[in-house]
Amino acid sequence: MEQQSVTSTIKGKRVITKKPELLAPAGNLEKLKVAVHYGADAVFIGGRDFGLRSNADNFSTEEMAEGVAFAAKYGSHIYVTTNIFAHNENMDGLGEYLQDLERVGVKGIIVADPLIIETCKQVAPKLEVHLSTQQSLSNWQAINFWKQEGLDRVVLAREVGLEEMLEMKRNVDIEIETFIHGAMCISYSGRCVLSNHMTARDSNRGGCCQSCRWDYFLYEETNTSSNQETALFDQEDAPFAMSPKDLNLIEAIPKLVEAGIDSLKVEGRMKSIHYVATVVSVYRKVIDAYCADPDHFEIDPEWLRELAKCANRPTAPAFFENTPGHEEQMFRTHSQKTTFDFAGVVLGYDEETKIVTLQQRNHFRPGDRIEFFGPEIENYMQVVGEIWDEDGKELDAARHPLQIVRFKVEKPVNPDNMMRKEVQS
């Protein structure tokens, strides 16, 4: 099959003409707005039902409508995850729900269960249907099956590498979406029921309690009547844990763009607005820089440092090049101390007095080193001086969540810019 070219040459300079979508997660309306404002081309969200993160805030129909309208101002789109594997008892209300999504202008749904795919085609035909990674789609013939079923896009299994993606693109003409950043199942998605067994919470209906990240101990057992057990670890060894490092494909973006992948997806509907803002703005810069001038592109080390500021765990490229070994997994360190904490959101800035008005999101005090960032400003670091409350009363610290505070910032910042503070680890 003829593959669509992603590039063309203008006045002797190669540019990328097929720019992939940058798809960001949002657990609530505030996060959605941040994702769009910081550069996401599309945002995926969950509704009250049929999605896989029952612990996330999730959106009411009214909130979805507001999200769609907000995104439209930026030319962005909203997709809704409806990717449970439904049980009989979950069928009620599905049709009405999908019609609601269509009515409020959601662009598409992300689905795993044919029940939901077929129902959507019947009752809400304007919605695009994207196959969820829960189907663990790993080969091009299976993709072809779903294309024939009328799906608009497929999200690949997390186990698919670059060479496989290229072969898929060569063989099937359908939009392909793949994960580029965030936490991942270490199992094939949809093929893990640890949570069901260990806590009676159904992982494939949004109840996953992440049993894979708990500690276990590996033994060898003889298959005799006495069943003798030998520990396969020493006293000082780490316990057995299945936890993978988080995915990070920032350095692979050029290859993904050249491969013609249609949508690059960031995981994390449960993550903070700081996380969403940081990750989206970094990938926005990488994609834009590469597409503008692919032949002179280099990774800016600043982008890597920026991504690390919101990392929860060490990161790795997972299956992108090869089946991951122990280096791409994590056993000893269960969490990496973040070097920065999200501390506030800018509400306004007075150019004359150089005073910022900020909504507090985490404790900070005079003397803390802080950094402002946003989609349209250069990162800017300074030390906090005097802090005042709304009435001008001096504070020894900004310690109340969502409190409005003011202090001096030498460089101009804009509403919706974010502030993080350095933490000593």
Partner 1 sequence: MKKPELLVTPTCVEDISPLIEAGATAIMIGEETFGLRLAGEFNRQAVEQSTAIAHEKGAKIYVAMNALFHNESLPLLPDYIQFLDRVGVDAIVFGDPAVLMNVKEHAPNMKLHWNTETTATNWYTANYWGRKGSTRAVLARELNMDAIVEIKEEAEVEIEVQVHGMTCMFQSKRMLVGNYMAFQGKDLKVQGRSKDKSLILHDPERDAKYPIWEDKNGTHIMSPKDMCIIDELEEMLDAGVDAFKIDGIQKDLPYIKKMTELYRQAIDLYLINPSDYEEKKEYFLAEVKKAQPSNRGLDTGFFFKETVY
Residue 16 CB coordination number (10 Å):
22
Residue 30 or 221 having the CB closest to partner 1: 221
**CA of residue 256 relative to chain centroid, distance:** 17
Q: Applying CB under 8 A, does 21 fall inside the site for partner 1?
A: no
Give φ, ψ of 49 to 5 degrees.
-135, 165
406 three-state secondary structure: strand
Could you tell me the smallest distance in angstroms from the CB atom of residue 103 to partner 1?
23
Binding residue for partner 1, selected from 69, 72, 218, 381, defined by CB under 8 A:
218
* Site stretch for partner 1 (CB under 8 A), options 63-71, 80-88, 378-386, 403-411: 80-88
Q: Applying CB under 8 A, does 113 fall inside the site for partner 1?
A: yes
Could you tell me the smallest distance in angstroms from the CB atom of residue 171 to partner 1?
8
How far apart, in whole angstroms, are the C-alpha atoms of residue 182 and residue 195?
21
Q: Applying CB under 8 A, does 127 fall inside the site for partner 1?
A: no
Q: Applying CB under 8 A, does 325 fall inside the site for partner 1?
A: yes
**CA of residue 291 relative to chain centroid, distance:** 21
Residue 77 or 269 having the CB closest to partner 1: 269
**CA of residue 183 relative to chain centroid, distance:** 8
Residue 301 or 325 having the CB closest to partner 1: 325
Asked if 190 and 111 count as a contact pair (C-beta separation under 8 A), the reply is no
Q: Applying CB under 8 A, does 159 fall inside the site for partner 1?
A: yes
Could you tell me the smallest distance in angstroms from the CB atom of residue 154 to partner 1?
11
Could you tell me the smallest distance in angstroms from the CB atom of residue 95 to partner 1?
12
Under DSSP, the state recorded for 362 is S
Binding residue for partner 1, selected from 74, 188, 380, 388, defined by CB under 8 A:
188
The one-letter amino acid code at 167 reads: E
Cα torsion 218, 220, 224, 226: sign? negative
How far apart, in whole angstroms, are the C-alpha atoms of residue 138 and residue 145?
12
Q: Applying CB under 8 A, does 320 fall inside the site for partner 1?
A: no
Contacts to partner 1 from residues 261-300, by CB under 8 A:
none
Token pair belonging to 364? 């900070």
Asked if 246 and 253 count as a contact pair (C-beta separation under 8 A), the reply is no
Q: Applying CB under 8 A, does 83 fall inside the site for partner 1?
A: no
Q: Applying CB under 8 A, does 150 fall inside the site for partner 1?
A: no
Q: Applying CB under 8 A, does 122 fall inside the site for partner 1?
A: no
Binding residue for partner 1, selected from 15, 61, 66, 90, defined by CB under 8 A:
90
Asked if 120 and 151 count as a contact pair (C-beta separation under 8 A), the reply is no
Q: Applying CB under 8 A, does 222 fall inside the site for partner 1?
A: yes
Q: Applying CB under 8 A, does 49 fall inside the site for partner 1?
A: no
